[in-house]
Structure 1
Amino acid sequence: MTDDIDLKRPDLYINRELSLLEFNGRVLAQALDARLPLLERLRFLCIFSTNLDEFFEIRVARLQELQALGSAQAGPDQLGPTELLAAIGARVHEQVDIQYRILNDTLLPALAEQGIRFVARAEWTPAQATWVQEFFEHELAPMLSPLGLDPAHPFPKVLNKSLNFIVALSGTDAFGRRSGNAVVQAPRSLPRIIPLPHTEAGQHQFVFLSSVIHAHVGQLFPGMQVKGCYQFRVTRNSDLFVDEEEVDDLLRAVEGELQSRRYGDAVRLEVADTCPQTMTDYLLAQVGLEPIDLFRVNGPVNLNRLLAVCDLPDRSDLRFAPFTPGLPVPLGRGGNIFAAIAKGDVLLHHPFESFLPVVEFVQQAASDPDVLAIKQTLYRTGEASVIVDALVAAARAGKEVTVVVELRARFDEEANIALANRLQEAGAHVVYGVVGYKTHAKMSLVVRREGRGLRHYAHLGTGNYHLRTARLYTDYGLFTCDKAITGDIVRVFLQLTSLGSVGALERLLESPFTLHEAMLAKIEREAQHAAAGRPARLVIKLNALVEPRIIQALYAAAQAGVDIELLVRGMCAVRPGVPGVSERIRVRSIIGRFLEHTRVFYFHNDGAPEVYCGSADWAERNFFRRVEVAFPISDATLRQRVIDELALYQADTAQAWELQTDGSYRRLEAGDTPPVSAQQALMERLAD
């Protein structure tokens, strides 16, 4: 290790917010990848918009709050809020310009060639114009409530991310009032993309809601003249605040905060690029933003709604080919899942392998007369969850059902409140974890009477108990009845539901108690192996890596001679390739058909390898402000399987990006050899 290297130097870290924007830039690049099906490219364009919305709602909002408080520091890289907001503004303006150029110059023409057209107002045929007018009069106008702006009608606090129009008017109304401006708010119940009738089979023609309102907005202001109509959208701070020292009832506190999310402080203003400067200045003043917060766009202000087009039922030819997830031989189909687990641990890799066994695990537990109790953590489940259905059925059948529901799962709070109430009504014991610590661990435990004793069966995962994301996200899930692991799970549930200390865990690593120090110790162990001249290597796969002490430990290990492979999909504050510090560190990001979500930690350990999977990324919140669990893959065959699958990702040349020393990413090319796709290889290896 080099003694003169200060591992706390700011220049050894990449700013996490800018790193997250780099990730979103990689998502945007997928929309330009001609190797992908056309509607999947459009989907990536929409995902970019969704990611950017959340980035502003949470991260930019927090930086603006720090700026208002006069804070001088935003993170380990020492960038202050004002400097960082300026860098974010410049980067996002560049990305948004690219996004709309991709839409207008590449995707929309390509879609038109495939018979999917978005018809501009100037291109409406007489028949289409007549149909649009009738649609406006009968379907839209009754839903719209135009608001003239005057002393009695101040500028409204428009709903977060809603579609709105600022209308410039002239003339006098029935009361003799002269008002220069009005606002038209489009209710969220209205479709943003409207299909035109009478198209040929396989052909689709759409008009944007904004075009329809633009064309007929004058009908909302009879006797007045419309001088201009411009769409706009306001993004607001959506981070919930719950005073953990004052809260008496967490559920009611979260319920109370949900309404404020819709009308939090403004953080971004998007307007049509045709909007005059005087009007944009007026809008900025009304929502309390600065010019840096303004984004002019050449198209609809909310591209998220284009997702509806991505799933046209008769255009599967423009999407990824469907595939059927596989099912491990030990589980079979429809057999007794507890008997299968009793024979040995079973590892699932979703979505390449089916999530159905996880559902059946809970369903069979609910119907099995020998099952006495079920304990479950729920972070995100979706609104209609068959797992929640099974837990409700189990509670109604008289089984002891305990569910730890995380009410503060961001943007799923409302759904989680509803499922918590439903479970309680069925007789389940519902708790909300520990105030101050989000319960992010993914665990399910079944207590079953077998012979004269009780046996515990468990499922541990890296992802949520959510059927839809299980088809879209890569995650590992482990079934086990190992006494040490299930005993640890019993203790973790006891921590979450009761008071007191349950002592050390035997096999699991848990945040906020042992996970951070354990990972530091395992990294240091690799460094000691390297210093002693033994082979030393670690491979880490996760979604984010930003915790400073972990990064310092990785730098120190690299200097000691450890080869470090990091597969980090999103934020990564490690700066690879710094001479004398991180030359042995390689960072890659995989952006493909499925969202990479597995968290895997492989330590070579001088030929006695250790592999852990878990729910936690390597960030401060995961180590210190959440309840997380990492679990060992003890079975030698399963452990080697995980190591081999990590190697597939390390060899990827089809969907991989490599982090450069300056914080940018370079897309890896296959050269003269056929490209290697880890996801495609796993689909071929594991799917049916």
Structure 2
Amino acid sequence: MKTEFLSVADSDQSVPAPLEVAPVGETVQLEASENYFNRELSQLQFNYRVLKQALDPAHPLINRLTYCCIFSSNLDEFFEIRVAGLRQQLKYGRETVGVDGMLPEQLLAEISRVAHDYIHEQYDILNNVLIPELEKENIHFVRRREWTPAQADWVRTYFDEEILPVVSPIGLDPSHPFPRLVNKSLNFIVELDGKDAFGRETGMAIVPAPRSLPRLVRLPDNVCSGGDNLVFLSSMIHAHADELFPGMEVKGCYQFRLTRNADLELEDDLEDLASALRGELLSRRFGDGVRLEVADNCPDEMVQFLLREFGLTERDLYQVNGPVNLTRIMAVGELVDRPDLSYSHFSPSIPRQIRSKDSMFDAIRKRPLLLLHPYENFSPVVDLLRQAAKDPQVLAIRQTLYRTGANSEVVEALADAARRGKEVTAVIELRARFSEAENLELASRLQEAGVIVVYGVVGYKTHAKMILIVRREEGRLRRYVHLGTGNYHAGNARIYTDYSFMTCDESIGDDVNKLFQQLTGMGKALKIKKLFHAPFTLHNRLISLIEREAAHGSNGRIIFKFNALTEPQIIKALYRASQAGVSIDLIIRGICCLRPQVPRLSENIRVRSIVGRFLEHTRVYYFGNDGKPDVYCASADAMERNLLSRVEVAFPIEEPMLVARLRDDLEVYLADNCQSWVLQADGSYLQNQPADQEERLAAQLLLLERLTAKTG
């Protein structure tokens, strides 16, 4: 199959330094820094690939706008965690250098350069592509200068009734120091002239936008001439800022937004993890500043004032031509009833194996079940728990919970089982980033229902996705197991691609039981038969399996699919396998620190990233093993944190039909010629395009056609 690439001009422009290839005859040093891409810069490149979806006409228009917003959301977290971590290294003199050799100061400068370029392009796409195309569809962002008298009157009423009662303007003077602003909140810096009722002449004020109000409001049809008309909250505040400062002249009003360090730091020797976490959550909103976004029409002296207040420099300043928080524009999809401009709905299918069965236990006992979400329904996982809760033969249920949602059906089933007198244990990971508060609430709800709740192991996040159900059958106990690559979150199961595996294999059931013993109790690591588990065996077993393929030489075959590859020892093992002649395909959605296609180093390694309607989240390790393939699905990516400092599980898929199915799924991704981006040796990504006369093949669309009841 011939596939063409977009030109370099259409690809990711931010690439590492030119590659230096060792002369023929010289040994390639696996440890050389030029053989590794930087983690943070690779993550930025993934965000850029998301942004480029906003230009792809294969996506519906409102979804293209959503991609533009997702880019902002991704960058927020990138600055809150990754950039904040680099700044912390400099602040406390704890600089570390990765295998790529970049120092934190050097890396921060490069991140700033790349991020400024990407954000400039983002606003160019918004202002010059997306908004004009929305206008053609009669969807309008109505600017202040465009308001009709009727619209202006409606806005004034909305301001008086909805905004004015809850807004708190803060004049800056000796008794009103600069306020402590919440992370990522929308704020305005206002330039004032004149004296207030007390004779104060402050010159400046800060207006925090009420967080309880929507950032985008739909104008009623009776004040518009047709179509969908939306107005920004910032426009309303700009228009009526003078009402916040009676008797004073507002000479300027400019929006800004501060991004703060939002990473949580918890000691390993805590006596009460939940209490410590509650305390840390309060401080997350007010961490050190890491980025300042300001409207590009804000006067320089006010910009410099803000930078000084937040302890930031020009490198941390992002002046934007539009709203400072594009994430909130995602509300367009809810405010506008235009299904023709969004993805069509589809119905996830239910495999025939369980469609005709009343009992999930009967179906799983017949043969193992493998589901691929979102194409196949998540409901069988919930049904398994519901049936277990009601089944008098079920004695115990154990489950790990990472991101679930406190009001989910999974949680209800566990609570129901506990109320019915079953032994129910939930291992809840309180430190799932940005889900901490929700997980604390979840823990309380389950405890109230009688569930035994534990928080895993301090210092090792419990990221494994496991359910163990113990059922009495014919005078003996049988264990039923669910293992997954993703979270027990029904909402995520509609937008993330993940595998669910259900089995009653005795060895796997015994292994999962031992893992729960390790998580809830104390003692030495127990011998595990079939599963690989981090932080004990997963890392070493992956390397040994890669080395086994290397021993097969040119007959070796490796296909990995996961979200990120950063762990140096795994990368070195892959380099050695490539040098031995093994054919290696890596399907990596996001970060990749491995440099592919380098002569005598990685010329047999190909790396591609799939970006489309769904967030690729499956983790699959395929080893050809000279015609007798070993295939594993896993909760873990190939990152240091997953393999060395988390509780993770990789589980074998042994049923021949399921092995063939997984291989077919992987081949679909490798055949994608329009939603795939191929990593080049110089660090750039080029998007595949069908060659002349070649049929367009998008992996996600093909899987939708194959697996769902109704395609979209």
TM-score of Structure 1 vs Structure 2, range by shorter chain: over 0.9
Provide the C-alpha distance between the structure 2 equivalents of 1:309 and 1:279, rounded to a whole number of angstroms: 32
- Asked if the contact 2:192–2:250 (Cα under 8 Å) also holds between the matched residues in 1, the reply is yes
Provide the C-alpha distance between the structure 1 equivalents of 2:95 and 2:279, rounded to a whole number of angstroms: 32
1:662 aligned residue (678, 682, 694): 682
Residues 40-99 of structure 1 show CA distances to partners (whole Å, capped at 9, x for unaligned) of: 100101110100000000000001111223344342111011100000000000011111
Secondary structure at 2:552's aligned position in 1?
helix
Aligned to 1:206: 230
The correspondence of residues 343-354 of structure 1 with structure 2, limited to 5 A, is: 343-354=366-377
CA drift of 1:310 comes to 2.0
* Bigger shift: residues 61-70 or 599-608: 61-70
- Asked if the contact 1:350–1:471 (Cα under 8 Å) also holds between the matched residues in 2, the reply is yes
Provide the C-alpha distance between the structure 2 equivalents of 1:628 and 1:333, rounded to a whole number of angstroms: 34
Counterpart of 1:595, as a letter, is L
1:601 aligns with 2:624: no
- Asked if the contact 2:218–2:335 (Cα under 8 Å) also holds between the matched residues in 1, the reply is no
The correspondence of residues 104-183 of structure 1 with structure 2, limited to 5 A, is: 104-183=127-206
- Report the count of equivalent residues: 684
The correspondence of residues 186-225 of structure 1 with structure 2, limited to 5 A, is: 186-198=209-221, 203-225=227-249
Counterpart of 2:609, as a letter, is S
CA drift of 1:580 comes to 1.1
Counterpart of 1:633, as a letter, is I
- Asked if the contact 2:486–2:499 (Cα under 8 Å) also holds between the matched residues in 1, the reply is yes
Counterpart of 1:252, as a letter, is S
Provide the C-alpha distance between the structure 2 equivalents of 1:331 and 1:201, rounded to a whole number of angstroms: 53
2:540 aligned residue (514, 517, 527): 517
1:389 aligns with 2:409: no
CA drift of 1:657 comes to 0.1
1:611 aligns with 2:631: yes
2:704 aligned residue (675, 683, 687): 683
2:483 aligned residue (418, 438, 460): 460
Provide the C-alpha distance between the structure 2 equivalents of 1:71 and 1:413, rounded to a whole number of angstroms: 27
2:295 aligned residue (272, 291, 295): 272
- Asked if the contact 1:484–1:506 (Cα under 8 Å) also holds between the matched residues in 2, the reply is yes
1:434 aligns with 2:437: no
Provide the C-alpha distance between the structure 1 equivalents of 2:43 and 2:524, rounded to a whole number of angstroms: 37
In structure 2, the CA distance between the partners of 1:230 and 1:537, relative to structure 1 (3 Å rule), is same
Provide the C-alpha distance between the structure 2 equivalents of 1:70 and 1:491, rounded to a whole number of angstroms: 42
Provide the C-alpha distance between the structure 2 equivalents of 1:383 and 1:502, rounded to a whole number of angstroms: 31
Secondary structure at 1:308's aligned position in 2?
helix
Secondary structure at 2:47's aligned position in 1?
helix
CA drift of 1:333 comes to 5.5
Residues 226-256 of structure 1 show CA distances to partners (whole Å, capped at 9, x for unaligned) of: 11100000000000011112x1001111111
Aligned to 2:267: 243
1:61 aligns with 2:84: yes
CA drift of 1:383 comes to 3.8
- Asked if the contact 2:183–2:259 (Cα under 8 Å) also holds between the matched residues in 1, the reply is yes
The runs of 4+ residues in structure 1 deviating greater than 6 Å are none
In structure 2, the CA distance between the partners of 1:54 and 1:472, relative to structure 1 (3 Å rule), is same
RMSD of aligned residue pairs (Cα, Å): 1.3
Provide the C-alpha distance between the structure 2 equivalents of 1:557 and 1:585, rounded to a whole number of angstroms: 9
Counterpart of 1:660, as a letter, is Q
Structure of greater relative contact order (alpha carbons < 8 Å, 6+ residues apart): 2
Counterpart of 1:158, as a letter, is L
Aligned to 1:478: 501
2:41 aligned residue (11, 18, 34): 18
Secondary structure at 1:164's aligned position in 2?
strand
1:628 aligns with 2:651: no
Provide the C-alpha distance between the structure 1 equivalents of 2:594 and 2:333, rounded to a whole number of angstroms: 36
Q: TM-score, normalised by structure 2?
A: 0.95
Aligned to 1:639: 659
CA drift of 1:220 comes to 0.5
In structure 2, the CA distance between the partners of 1:293 and 1:502, relative to structure 1 (3 Å rule), is closer
Secondary structure at 2:510's aligned position in 1?
helix
Residues 247-301 of structure 1 show CA distances to partners (whole Å, capped at 9, x for unaligned) of: 1001111111001000000000000000011000000001111110000011110
Q: TM-score, normalised by structure 1?
A: 0.98
CA drift of 1:115 comes to 1.6
1:544 aligned residue (564, 588, 596): 564
1:317 aligns with 2:340: yes
Aligned to 1:406: 429
In structure 2, the CA distance between the partners of 1:445 and 1:231, relative to structure 1 (3 Å rule), is same
Residues 102-148 of structure 1 show CA distances to partners (whole Å, capped at 9, x for unaligned) of: 11111111111112111000000000001101110111001101000
Counterpart of 1:654, as a letter, is C
- Asked if the contact 2:622–2:632 (Cα under 8 Å) also holds between the matched residues in 1, the reply is yes
Provide the C-alpha distance between the structure 1 equivalents of 2:95 and 2:198, rounded to a whole number of angstroms: 53
- Asked if the contact 2:357–2:363 (Cα under 8 Å) also holds between the matched residues in 1, the reply is no
- Asked if the contact 1:19–1:572 (Cα under 8 Å) also holds between the matched residues in 2, the reply is yes
Provide the C-alpha distance between the structure 1 equivalents of 2:367 and 2:566, rounded to a whole number of angstroms: 36
CA drift of 1:681 comes to 1.0
Counterpart of 2:671, as a letter, is A
Provide the C-alpha distance between the structure 2 equivalents of 1:198 and 1:317, rounded to a whole number of angstroms: 20
Stretches of structure 2 lacking an aligned partner (at least 5 in a row): 1-23
CA drift of 1:446 comes to 0.6
In structure 2, the CA distance between the partners of 1:363 and 1:201, relative to structure 1 (3 Å rule), is farther
Secondary structure at 2:689's aligned position in 1?
coil
Aligned to 1:445: 468
Provide the C-alpha distance between the structure 2 equivalents of 1:76 and 1:150, rounded to a whole number of angstroms: 50
* Bigger shift: residues 316-325 or 23-32: 316-325
- Asked if the contact 1:71–1:81 (Cα under 8 Å) also holds between the matched residues in 2, the reply is no
Aligned to 1:674: 695
In structure 2, the CA distance between the partners of 1:56 and 1:396, relative to structure 1 (3 Å rule), is same
Counterpart of 1:523, as a letter, is I
Residues 338-373 of structure 1 show CA distances to partners (whole Å, capped at 9, x for unaligned) of: 000000101000011000101101111111111111
Counterpart of 1:593, as a letter, is R
- Asked if the contact 1:71–1:80 (Cα under 8 Å) also holds between the matched residues in 2, the reply is no
- Asked if the contact 2:163–2:210 (Cα under 8 Å) also holds between the matched residues in 1, the reply is no
Counterpart of 1:684, as a letter, is E
Provide the C-alpha distance between the structure 1 equivalents of 2:406 and 2:157, rounded to a whole number of angstroms: 35
Aligned to 2:111: 88
* Bigger shift: residues 478-487 or 68-77: 68-77
- Asked if the contact 1:395–1:427 (Cα under 8 Å) also holds between the matched residues in 2, the reply is yes
- Asked if the contact 2:260–2:289 (Cα under 8 Å) also holds between the matched residues in 1, the reply is yes
- Asked if the contact 1:545–1:617 (Cα under 8 Å) also holds between the matched residues in 2, the reply is yes
Counterpart of 2:444, as a letter, is N
Residues 547-605 of structure 1 show CA distances to partners (whole Å, capped at 9, x for unaligned) of: 00000110011001111100000000010111110110100000011000000000000
- Asked if the contact 2:588–2:609 (Cα under 8 Å) also holds between the matched residues in 1, the reply is yes
In structure 2, the CA distance between the partners of 1:458 and 1:126, relative to structure 1 (3 Å rule), is same
- Asked if the contact 1:42–1:310 (Cα under 8 Å) also holds between the matched residues in 2, the reply is no
Aligned to 1:49: 72
- Asked if the contact 1:576–1:585 (Cα under 8 Å) also holds between the matched residues in 2, the reply is yes
Aligned to 2:587: 567
CA drift of 1:3 comes to 7.2
Residues 407-437 of structure 1 show CA distances to partners (whole Å, capped at 9, x for unaligned) of: 0000000000000011111111000000000
Provide the C-alpha distance between the structure 2 equivalents of 1:294 and 1:159, rounded to a whole number of angstroms: 18
- Asked if the contact 1:63–1:74 (Cα under 8 Å) also holds between the matched residues in 2, the reply is no
